[in-house]
Amino acid sequence: MLQSQLFSKTTKNLPEGETAKNAQLLIKAGFINKSSAGVYSFLPLGLRVLNKINQIIREEMNAIGGEELLLPSLVQRKYWEKSGRWDVDIIYKTGAVINQRVLRGDFEYGLGWTHEEVVGDIARHFIQSYKDLPKAVYQIQTKFRAEARAQAGLLRGREFLMKDLYSFHANTEDLNSYYQLAIGAYKKIFKRLGLGAIVTEAGGGAFTKEYTHEFQVLNPAGEDVIYYCRQCDFSQNKEIYNASAHKNCNGEIKSESAIEVGNVFKLGTKFSEAFNAQYLDKNGNKNLVIMGSYGIGPTRVMGTIVEQYNDEKGIIWPESVAPFKVHLIELGDSPAVKKAASGLYQTIGQKLDMEVLYDERSASAGEKLNDADLFGIPWRIVISEKTLAAKKIEVKKRSEKTPQLITQTQLAKLLK
Ligand code: ATP
Ligand code: MG
């Protein structure tokens, strides 16, 4: 992609009151735009990152048998009433109730903040027998919540993206083994995303009396506090922390701020009961379907990655989610530089089949290099009179300090 063609430009101007580092960097770099508190537009550069995050999540969900679907955001009042979440949760959680009375009829909708109701109702139609179980479906969808304090950029949106997976089982043992499988998939996802997430016990909130498991990334920007052991895998959210539950070892417990990037729940029969989702077992007896639900916030993940990977100059994307792999920069307007740089652009893009952003703008070296640091693309390549004279290419990783001069053959090897 030619940088001169990008829809967005870098900017020094931040919207008033934007204090979150992730939002500040992403806005400056032209990845997102603030629409209102907790509501952001994803510009083309930002969407490239978000799509990569979603793709990683999809691959790992598909790998544990999840089938992707898409549920509606507008969820009629009757659904929430069945599960008892209209007055308690919908009004409080989303605040937003769309009242269609003015249009026609007297339909009231809640904007979906999570979709156990909708999916529980669908399950009733397709799950009749033990032979139809287990099943797992997921979606990546926009959610709405009336977050009181939406000052953490992408970490706490009033509108945000969630991947929600729902699983259906004939018995608790099957739910338990799928739950472990999902935890394994989540570990893979966060590893691929470059996030060291700690599996943390937490309360069940609106869903369950059992503990749930949160995936927590240690970071000062986090709004959660976790108590975790430095030696074993003990970790509990502050809300339920009990020192005497730490029995595995004598390791020291630390408490730190963390960002909850994922959360898995054993729902049991709460929603299948509300929606009468039953199946016939081998003996012809009716039983309630047992459910699990598993969430990840891709937009929060994007904000978390920025909080984890940045320096005073800008973002430092992990390769797995970077908008481009290579940032090719030509310095100076001489025809020789232009020719060499555009040739290399073709080579890297086509022969090496890598995503390249090519800065062919006529701007100062300072401006181009500053923009490159702000963007945070993993590999920076510079072509200038100086590199041409040396018959070399200048390469620098965004995460490293010093550039190196290498040949084109060495470059191909390095990038692979
Ligand atoms: P929190 O405690 O941070 O408010 P939650 O526990 O209410 O979040 P869940 O209902 O478990 O959130 O949602 C599943 C996932 O969706 C979370 O783990 C998080 O990654 C993401 N998520 C939840 N709320 C938001 C939000 N307001 N903005 C962005 N992502 C969110
Ligand atoms: Mg949660």
Q: SS in 3 state form for the chain? A: CEHHHCCCCCCCCCCCCCCCHHHHHHHHCCCEEEEECCEEEECHHHHHHHHHHHHHHHHHHHHCCCEECCCCCEEEHHHHHHHCCHHHHHHHHHCCEEEHHHCCCCCEEEECCCCHHHHHHHHHHHCCEHHHCCEEEEEEEEEECCCCCCCCHHHCCCEEEEEEEEEEECCHHHHHHHHHHHHHHHHHHHHHCCCCEEEEEECCCCCCCCCEEEEEEECCCCCEEEEEECCCCCEEECCCCCHHHCCCCCCCEEEEEEEEEEEEEEEECHHHHHCCCEEECCCCCEEECEEEEEEECHHHHHHHHHHHCEECCEECCCCCCCCCCEEEEECCCCHHHHHHHHHHHHHHHHHCCCCEEEECCCCCHHHHHHHHHHHCCCEEEEECHHHHHCCCEEEEECCCCCCEEECHHHHHHHHC
Cβ atoms < 10 Å from Cβ of 179: 20
| CA–centroid distance, residue 297 to ligand 1 (Å) | 6
What kind of architecture, by CATH, is found in domain 7-311?
Answer: 2-Layer Sandwich (3.30)
**109 and 76 Cβ atoms separated by less than 8 Å:** yes
Q: Is the peptide bond before 134 cis (omega within 30 degrees of 0)?
A: yes
CA of 197 to the centre of ligand 1 (A): 15
Q: What is the rounded average pLDDT of the residues 25-29?
A: 98
Distance (Å, rounded) from C-alpha 331 to C-alpha 350?
22
Q: Residue 223's pLDDT is what?
A: 97
User: Which residue shows structure tokens 């990546």?
Assistant: 140
Identical fold for domains 7-311 and 326-415, yes or no, is no
156 lines ligand 1 (CB under 6 A): yes
Atom 4 of ligand 1, residue of closest alpha carbon: 156
Q: Are strands 108-111 and 159-169 parallel, antiparallel or unpaired?
A: unpaired
Pairwise CA distance, residues 396 & 409, whole Å: 16
Residue nearest to atom 21 of ligand 1 (CA): 297
pLDDT of residue 256: 98
Give the position, in ligand 1's atom list, of the atom nearest the Cα of 223: 3
Ligand nearest to the CA of 149: 1
Q: What's the predicted TM-score (pTM) here?
A: 0.96
Tell the residue nearest (CA) to atom 14 of ligand 1. Answer: 295
Closest protein CA for atom 22 of ligand 1: 297
Top-confidence range, 110-124, 204-218, 346-360: 346-360
Whose CA is closest to 240, among 267, 268, 214? 214
Q: What does the pLDDT average to over 400-405?
A: 96
- 189, 190, 293, 300, best to mutate for ligand 1 pocket (most atoms within 8 Å of CB): 300
Confidence of residue 93 (pLDDT cuts 50, 70, 90): low
Q: Which residues pair with 405 in a beta bridge?
A: 394
Q: pLDDT at position 53, please?
A: 99
pLDDT tens column, 376-386: 999 999 999 99
What's the CA-to-centroid distance between 371 and ligand 1, angstroms? 32
Q: Which fold has domain 326-415?
A: Rossmann fold (3.40.50)
Asked if 219 and 259 touch (Cβ cutoff 8 Å), the reply is yes
pLDDT given at position 300: 98
**Best of 162, 183, 214 for a ligand 1 pocket test (most atoms within 8 Å of beta carbon):** 162
Mean pLDDT of the chain: 93
159 lines ligand 1 (CB under 6 A): no
User: What local confidence, expressed as pLDDT, does residue 100 receive?
Assistant: 44
Q: Where are the domains of the chain?
A: 7-311, 326-415
pLDDT surpassing 60 at residue 102: no
Cα atoms in the Cβ-side hemisphere of radius 13 Å centred on 338 = 7
State the average pLDDT over residues 165-180.
Answer: 98
Q: Are 98 and 74 in contact (CB under 8 A)?
A: yes
391 CA to centre of ligand 2 in angstroms: 55
Distance 160 CA to ligand 1 centre (A): 9
Residues 6+ apart with CB under 8 A from 79: 117, 118, 121
pLDDT in tens, 270-312: 999 999 999 999 999 999 999 999 999 999 999 999 999 999 9
- The rounded distance, in Å, linking the Cα atoms of 334 and 155 is 44
Is the model's pLDDT at 29 over the cut of 90?
A: yes
- Which ligand number lies closest to the CA of residue 224? 1
Among protein residues, the one with the nearest Cα to ligand 1's atom 11 is 263
Q: Is 114 in the pocket of ligand 1 (CB under 6 A)?
A: yes
Q: Among 139, 263, 266, which is best to mutate for testing ligand 1, by the most ligand atoms less than 8 A from CB?
A: 263
Verify whether ligand 1 is closer than 6 Å to residue 157 (CB atom): yes
CA–CA distance from 371 to each of 19, 22, 63, 315, 378 (Å)? 21, 16, 38, 10, 13
Check pLDDT > 70 for residue 208. Answer: no
Ligand 1 pocket member 160 (CB < 6 A): yes
Least confident of 102-111, 232-241, 276-285: 102-111
Q: Which atom from ligand 1 is nearest to the alpha carbon of 265?
A: 11
Distance separating alpha carbons of residues 26 and 322, to the nearest angstrom: 13
Spacing, Cα 143 to ligand 1 middle (Å): 10
What is d(CA 320, CA 399) in angstroms, rounded to the nearest whole number? Answer: 14
Residue 89: predicted pLDDT = 60
The residue nearest atom 17 of ligand 1, judged by CA position, is 262
Residue 240 binned pLDDT confidence (cut-offs 50, 70, 90): very high
Q: Does the structure show a pLDDT above 80 at 173?
A: yes
The mean pLDDT value for 4-11 works out to 97
Report how far ligand 1's centroid is from the alpha carbon of 332 (Å). Answer: 47
How far apart are the two ends of the chain, measured CA to CA in Å? Answer: 20
pLDDT of residue 232 exceeding 50: yes
Number of other CB atoms surrounding residue 294 within 10 Å: 26
Question: What sign results for the dihedral spanned by CA atoms 20, 159, 200, 203?
Answer: positive
Q: Over pLDDT 70: what percentage of the chain? A: 94
